[in-house]
Structure 1
Amino acid sequence: MNQVSPSLLWHDYETFGLNPGTDRPSQFAGIRTDLDLNIISEPYQWYCRPPNDYLPAPEACLVTGITPQYALQHGEFENQFIFNILQQFQQANTCVVGYNNIRFDDEVTRFTLYRNFHDAYQREWQNGCSRWDIIDMVRACYALRPEGIEWVFDENDVPSFKLELLTKANDIVHQQAHDAMSDVYATIAMAKLIKEAHPKLYEYCFNLRQKNKVKDVLKMGSFSPLVHISGMFPALQGCCSYILPIAQHPTNSNAVIVVDLNKDLSQLLSLDIDQIQSYLYTATDNLPEGINRPPIKLIHINKCPIVASAKTLTAERAKELGVDAKQCRESMNLFLANKQLVEKLTAVFDTEVKSTGQQQPEQKLYSGGFPSANDKKQAKEITQLSPQQIESYQVHFDDPNLEMLWHRYKARNYPQTLTSEESQKWNRHREAYFIENVDNYIARLEMLAIEHQHNEEKIAILQKLGHYLEFVTNN
């Protein structure tokens, strides 16, 4: 049997909004390369039709230029759209990669798979498959090995890691930012730039897509300081700090609790568990006077985190970035003298912070619990049904949430299969959505029209959104 050569599938989504759980994809682009970043496939590109129980965010359409009318004309129904993508993602030995995809594009993939009865996670690990994200490698390059790349700074001397700015500074062709295909080519070129300038750094970061490699670096129980690169640290600091892994997350085997050694840890001794938890999730502006956000965070070993030996960040570079070596030593000593903090900080994460507000069935990817064997079996059957079989297929889910999702799946992807009773139910759902959202939507369109009154292109898009609103609420 021929072994399939490992490959990288570079990809990007454009979407009709910023929330992967509630918004919808509008465009997908992907290109496959070998591990040396040579292109080995034709580009893949698909558009996705918006469902008729949803209003695309005007702000997103202004950024991408993709209107719902264009997506309806050129796009697939969402179940076919995600099926096309999944066929590429799950080819053996494929590593799916992008720019900021762990936080955004991969969430779009997961929620879209979930809404369409596919397993949301299998493609990330099955058949030798994996995922990677180069945004933290770019940040690591700036923080640890900045030479050989042109970096971009704002008026306050804060580095920017926006793809369109970095490509411009490094003379990389990026024809149209926020067009998925253009962004994919730009991402590959950025990766190539770093691979050529710093091959060891590239290889090191690439290997951290494997959980076991991350575990090897973390060395849980050794209480050894490490360098960590994360967008949660200030960009002025190179998104970089010294951290100390202190404990496994009590309920999530893929998460590790760490403290930021660049901050004063003494507050963690005086605050109780409830206070630490509360302040951890309170907006900075709402924190009580004299209280700083607790210097703790989670590292998810399945999200390609950048962690490395403390010596990787030289003392000279740490000083340039504003990472205070003296403070880090003091924090380290304070922790080692107060190891009871391990138990305390583990308890902080032992109770989940409940999300407020009622969730729609398609939003329950993370809150709906694990599906039963029966529900998994039926979900798999659904993805293999023809339109003719959809019409007569009877579901018997253990999870009532999936019953609701099934009805919506049919209505969105196979409207012609709905019975009269199902159509009435669907229209009641749509009516409730529009009653809740239309007034605010019109106000946003009007506000944006004032803001962009001198931009003909944007005004044309806003007018199309107004026409679409009228169309979708009357059909």
Structure 2
Amino acid sequence: MGFVFFDTETTGLRQGFDQIVHFAAIRTDNDLNEVGRFEARSRLLPHVVPHPAALLTNGLPIGRLNDDGLPSHYDMVRAIRRTLLDWSPSVFVGYNSIRFDEEMLRHALFQTLHPAFLTSSHGNCRADALGLVMAASALSPPCLSVPIGPEGRPVFRLDQLAPANAVAHDKAHDAMADVVATLGLCRCVQERAPELWQRFVRFSKKATVGDFVDAEDGFVLTEFFSNQACHTPVVCLGPDPQQPNGRLCLRLDIAHAELASMPDEELQSYLSAKPSPIRRLRINAAPTLTALFDAPEQMLNGCDINELEVRAQSIKEDVAFCSRMIASYVAAREPRSPSVHVEERIYDGFPGPDDENRMASFHTASRQDALAIAQQFNDDRLRIFGLRLIYMRDRSVLPSEIRLAAERDLTDRLVDVAAGGFTLHQALQETENLVDGDEADIDGILSGYRDYLMERIERVTAFRAANFAAEEGGTE
């Protein structure tokens, strides 16, 4: 099956609003021998405002992001998709990728009218090397040399962990350099802790995780908070009724008899408290799991393994208790309202079959036909993204009223905090704060960005004054 190691560099951390500007991937065989490389960049989308800290981190002057010689964001995403489909099926691995890079890729695909879940479809699996190295540090300490920070805590930053283990990482926060470093650390674990590596690969498969948590009487769930591994012996109560890939697990190191005797209101309050005795996991997110009989003593929180196994079996057999715990936990959740921002509605349902066909046709249609397709989408998210793409590619195709609506919408994202994104004024303030602080202005990135923002604010303000009936207030 092989692996695809990948990384993204972005304009910021806001999923759905920020964009990928640099994507890199290395394909390997099952033994982690490299068999292919791919890299792609894009220029800045006109409605995206980079965070100045991201520009500093990535070493990217604003002029480079606005280079007309770079591909458009749409063309970059199309190239990424073609390559990753050619490399499927594979196990997709990044560093903190499930929480960040995967999400940025999903949003990029969705906003360019492609199916969003490429890395978890087409026979693909996914895993996260950050969880692997943290697990290696906890379960097989000699496997990796982990730096210790000033506060005495382990540091798992890629730019520090890689050199500490003699793994090449010459240019941190360059997408390809980060991919090379991630692959190098995975090779270290594969060579020095092969059983841990095999477990990592095994649990990259959603079906395997589901079978394990459903079949085991009890197991240890390892979660990571502030670079610390937290091991919890748990038993799976059952599926999360609100999340198809979710499982709800109950801690085994607490007094369960007290839970059974609690009135409903008290139970709901107890289960919703932080930290909750119920732990959630997603079977499609490569969780770090250890069977009880494989867990070293320090992972059992001072509990006797035989007692944990008996307790787990007793809970699983009490179907009524499990159902009540799940129902009480779910009842205590805050109801989730759909976002007013289309960028945040990626998980509000899958496109229907007709819209899926329209999405596929959109990319090969003429400009006029693409406009017709965009207007025919049943899903309003796709309709908005489709018209936005047409505006980016050739705004002259759009009727004047649609073009003006698109321009109002996109410039709102530049000046109005209510539009959800990072505004020009916010970026200018953050840039001023960095310039006035102790942050070194490497290669004049901050001063150049400040000049760009001031000039852009003037142009956008003049454009809106000339094209819209009234100036918007309260936009800073």
Superposition TM-score, scaled by structure 2 size: 0.84
Q: Is the 8 A contact 2:315 2:322 kept in 1?
A: no
The equivalent of 2:473 in structure 1 is none
Matched, 1:439 2:430: no
Alignment partners' CA distance in 2, 1:210 and 1:304:
7
Q: 1:84 to 1:270 in 2, by over 3 A?
A: farther
What is the CA deviation profile of residues 273-297 of structure 1, one whole-angstrom value per residue up to 9, with x for unaligned ones? Answer: 677767877xxxxxxxxx6521222
The equivalent of 1:285 in structure 2 is none
Q: Is the 8 A contact 1:52 1:472 kept in 2?
A: no
Q: Paired residue for 2:93, among 93, 97, 101? A: 97
Matched, 1:343 2:323: yes
The equivalent of 1:106 in structure 2 is 102
Q: CA deviation at 1:359?
A: 2.9
Q: Is the 8 A contact 2:127 2:200 kept in 1?
A: no
Q: 1:407 to 1:150 in 2, by over 3 A?
A: same
Q: CA deviation at 1:456?
A: 3.3
Q: What is the DSSP-based 3-state SS (H/G/I as helix, E as strand, rest coil) of the residue aligned with 2:66?
A: helix
Matched, 1:456 2:437: no
Q: CA deviation at 1:419?
A: 3.9
The equivalent of 2:474 in structure 1 is none
Alignment partners' CA distance in 1, 2:62 and 2:284:
35
Q: What percent identity do the matched residue pairs reach? A: 23
Q: What is the DSSP-based 3-state SS (H/G/I as helix, E as strand, rest coil) of the residue aligned with 1:349?
A: helix
Matched, 1:359 2:340: yes
What is the CA deviation profile of residues 305-337 of structure 1, one whole-angstrom value per residue up to 9, with x for unaligned ones? Answer: 12121122222x438xxx332699589849947
The equivalent of 2:450 in structure 1 is 466
Which shifted more, 208-217 or 109-118?
208-217
Amino acid at match of 2:71: E
Q: What is the DSSP-based 3-state SS (H/G/I as helix, E as strand, rest coil) of the residue aligned with 1:90?
A: helix
Q: CA deviation at 1:199?
A: 1.5
Matched, 1:140 2:135: yes
Q: Paired residue for 1:294, among 268, 271, 276? A: 276
Matched, 1:227 2:208: no
Q: What is the DSSP-based 3-state SS (H/G/I as helix, E as strand, rest coil) of the residue aligned with 2:15?
A: coil
Q: Is the 8 A contact 2:218 2:313 kept in 1?
A: no
Alpha-carbon RMSD across the aligned residues, in angstroms, is 3.0
1:144-183 correspondence runs (5 A): 144-183=139-178
The equivalent of 2:465 in structure 1 is none
Q: 1:145 to 1:60 in 2, by over 3 A?
A: same
The equivalent of 1:58 in structure 2 is 52
Superposition TM-score, scaled by structure 1 size: 0.84
Q: Is the 8 A contact 1:276 1:294 kept in 2?
A: no
Q: What is the DSSP-based 3-state SS (H/G/I as helix, E as strand, rest coil) of the residue aligned with 2:6?
A: strand
Q: CA deviation at 1:119?
A: 0.6
Q: Paired residue for 1:324, among 302, 311, 314? A: 302
What is the CA deviation profile of residues 49-70 of structure 1, one whole-angstrom value per residue up to 9, with x for unaligned ones? Answer: 2221221112221211224421
Q: CA deviation at 1:103?
A: 1.1
What is the CA deviation profile of residues 371-421 of structure 1, one whole-angstrom value per residue up to 9, with x for unaligned ones? Answer: 222211111111233557546656312223322222212223444544433
What is the CA deviation profile of residues 130-179 of structure 1, one whole-angstrom value per residue up to 9, with x for unaligned ones? Answer: 22222222122122222232122234432222222211211111112211
Q: 1:334 to 1:132 in 2, by over 3 A?
A: closer
Q: CA deviation at 1:265?
A: 6.0
Q: CA deviation at 1:36?
A: 1.1
Q: What is the DSSP-based 3-state SS (H/G/I as helix, E as strand, rest coil) of the residue aligned with 2:201?
A: helix
Q: 1:444 to 1:76 in 2, by over 3 A?
A: same
Matched, 1:427 2:407: yes
The equivalent of 2:286 in structure 1 is 304
Q: 1:428 to 1:138 in 2, by over 3 A?
A: same
Q: 1:56 to 1:456 in 2, by over 3 A?
A: closer
Q: Is the 8 A contact 1:263 1:328 kept in 2?
A: no
What is the CA deviation profile of residues 91-110 of structure 1, one whole-angstrom value per residue up to 9, with x for unaligned ones? Answer: 23232221111111111111
Alignment partners' CA distance in 1, 2:393 and 2:430:
29
Alignment partners' CA distance in 2, 1:253 and 1:212:
13
Q: 1:66 to 1:389 in 2, by over 3 A?
A: farther
Q: 1:332 to 1:411 in 2, by over 3 A?
A: farther
Q: 1:332 to 1:464 in 2, by over 3 A?
A: farther
